[in-house]
């Protein structure tokens, strides 16, 4: 039997178990794990890796979170390698490792795509992935693979509805108010230049990727699992306290 035929037969025998992988990664600390069909979002160079394993942590994006996400990716790689499948890990956003091959893939594939295709959330009017249970404060990593997982049901439309609290209260007026949908994925939801401009002008934001107000004001965030209500009284941007903003 030709080598390719042998490989195909081996893969048929050793099919990956999606639920087993999910349970394993959650036992190792992952908050959410999903698998999506990301075929439509792939460039030609990586078109063979048409399953996206989306991994989320309910933790703010910092060095510790990045290390945890990288470890979860390594565990996923080990699982896939053991079954003979190919994979490519897209590191967390703050671990771009400039100059490496992987760092050049950020323009080719987004963690947001893997998350929505895996049914773990939608893109909110704040430009972030919003999960119905954990809000928009999750940190993400992705592993692309050619393993023939049965994909989870994707989320294809925004669930923000008429809510536009983040748009109304964004201190840099960076949010356009447009509603995300897979039919119009390239609509400009955030004017990132304005976010960066605000950060540069306020010293308190030097160690943060943004002011975070569009995260904290989101009703899904304020109803999220484990959200400390006392943060509402401390979160103050340009005179607006979250305690003054109704859910």
Average pLDDT of span 3-15: 53
Q: What is the C-alpha separation between 105 and 107, in angstroms, rounded? A: 5
103 and 25 fall within a common domain: yes
Q: What is the pLDDT of residue 1?
A: 41
13 and 82 fall within a common domain: yes
The residues, any chain, with a CB within 8 Å of residue 215's CB and separated by 6 or more, are 126, 128, 135, 136, 137, 221
Tokens for 228, please give them: 């400390």
75 and 181 fall within a common domain: no
Q: What is the pTM of this model?
A: 0.82
* Number of structural domains found in the chain: 2
Is the pLDDT assigned to residue 120 strictly greater than 90?
yes
Over the stretch 35-76, which tens digit does the pLDDT of each residue have?
999 999 888 888 999 999 999 999 887 889 989 999 999 999
Pairing between strand 139-145 and 51-57? antiparallel
- Structure-model confidence comparison of residues 197 and 239, the more confident one: 197
* Nearest Cα to Cα of residue 55 among 76, 38, 40, 41: 76
- Does residue 157 lie within any of the structural domains? no
- Does residue 154 lie within any of the structural domains? no
Is the pLDDT assigned to residue 30 strictly greater than 60?
yes
Over the stretch 128-162, which tens digit does the pLDDT of each residue have?
999 999 999 999 999 999 999 999 999 999 999 99
Q: What is the pLDDT of residue 207?
A: 45
Among 18-22, 125-129, 219-223, 231-235, the minimum mean pLDDT is found in 231-235
What integer best gives the mean pLDDT of the chain?
83
Q: Is the dihedral of CA 233, 179, 155, 29 positive or negative?
A: negative
Q: What is the pLDDT of residue 243?
A: 55
Q: What is the C-alpha separation between 54 and 244, in angstroms, rounded? A: 35
- Does residue 159 lie within any of the structural domains? no
Average pLDDT of span 115-128: 96
Over the stretch 154-204, which tens digit does the pLDDT of each residue have?
999 999 999 999 999 998 899 999 999 998 876 799 998 887 776 665 555
170 and 103 fall within a common domain: no
103 and 200 fall within a common domain: no
Q: What is the pLDDT of residue 3?
A: 45
DSSP state of 76: H
Q: Cite the beta strand spans of the chain per DSSP E.
A: 32-37, 51-57, 87-90, 122-123, 129-130, 139-145, 236-237, 240-241
The domain of 200 spans 165-244
Q: What is the pLDDT of residue 240?
A: 53
Q: What is the C-alpha separation between 74 and 86, in angstroms, rounded? A: 13
- Does residue 42 lie within any of the structural domains? yes
């Amino acid at each position: 039997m030709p080598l390719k035929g042998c490989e195909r037969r081996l893969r048929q025998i050793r099919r990956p178990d999606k639920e087993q992988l999910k349970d394993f990664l959650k036992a190792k600390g992952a908050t959410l794990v999903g698998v999506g069909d990301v075929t439509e979002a792939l460039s030609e160079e990586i078109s063979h890796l048409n399953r996206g394993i989306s991994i989320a942590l309910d933790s703010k994006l910092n060095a510790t979170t990045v290390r945890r996400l990288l470890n979860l990716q390594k565990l996923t790689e080990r699982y896939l390698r053991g079954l003979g499948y190919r994979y490519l890990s897209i590191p967390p956003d703050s671990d771009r490792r400039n100059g490496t091959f992987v760092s050049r893939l950020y323009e080719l594939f987004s963690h947001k795509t893997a998350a929505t295709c895996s049914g773990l959330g939608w893109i909110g009017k704040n430009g972030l992935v919003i999960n119905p249970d954990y809000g928009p404060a999750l940190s993400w990593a992705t592993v692309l693979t050619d393993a023939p997982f049965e994909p989870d049901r994707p989320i294809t439309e925004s669930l923000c509805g008429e809510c536009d609290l983040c748009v109304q209260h964004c201190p840099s007026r960076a949010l356009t108010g447009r509603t995300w949908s897979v039919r119009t994925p390239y609509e400009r939801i955030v004017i990132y230049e304005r976010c960066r401009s605000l950060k540069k002008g306020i010293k308190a934001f030097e160690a943060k990727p943004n002011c975070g107000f569009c995260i904290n004001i989101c009703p899904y965030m304020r109803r999220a699992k484990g959200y400390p209500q006392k943060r509402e009284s401390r979160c103050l941007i340009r005179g607006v306290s979250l305690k003054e903003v109704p859910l």
